[in-house]
């Protein structure tokens, strides 16, 4: 297992409710600026890069699990496969 350090941020999609998997599939999401801080072992998000108001930080100890979701299926044009 590799040890990570530093702070990384990126725009990600956040599901709107506790039924995350179902909402992820239906497209019911908000875009948020997520930050993972390996040095402080915290994870949080904001509405913009410049926004000083953040969500309640989540300690790494409180994260029960994580998984990478498959990329969304590409739409096909009508009548063509």
Looking at the DSSP bridge assignments, the partners of residue 6 are none
Mean pLDDT of 18-37: 70
The pLDDT value recorded for residue 3 is 85
Stronger pLDDT, 59 or 81, i.e. the higher one:
59
- Average pLDDT, integer, range 31-45: 94
Is this model's pTM higher than 0.85 or not?
no
Could you give the CA distance from residue 14 to residue 12 in angstroms, rounded to a whole number? 6
The mean pLDDT value for 36-62 works out to 93
- Alpha-helix runs per DSSP H in the chain: 20-26
Give CA separation, 17 vs 20, 22, 31, 47, 67, in Å: 6, 9, 14, 17, 18
Kindly state the average pLDDT of the residues 12-24. 63
Residue 56 has pLDDT above 90, yes or no: yes
């Amino acid at each position: 297992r590799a040890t990570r350090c530093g702070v990384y941020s990126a725009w990600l999609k956040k599901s709107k409710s506790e039924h995350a998997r179902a909402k992820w599939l239906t497209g019911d999401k908000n875009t948020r600026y997520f930050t993972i801080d390996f040095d402080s072992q915290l994870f949080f998000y904001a509405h913009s890069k410049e926004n000083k108001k953040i969500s309640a930080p989540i300690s790494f100890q409180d994260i029960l699990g994580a998984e990478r979701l498959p990329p969304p299926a590409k739409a096909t044009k009508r009548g063509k496969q």
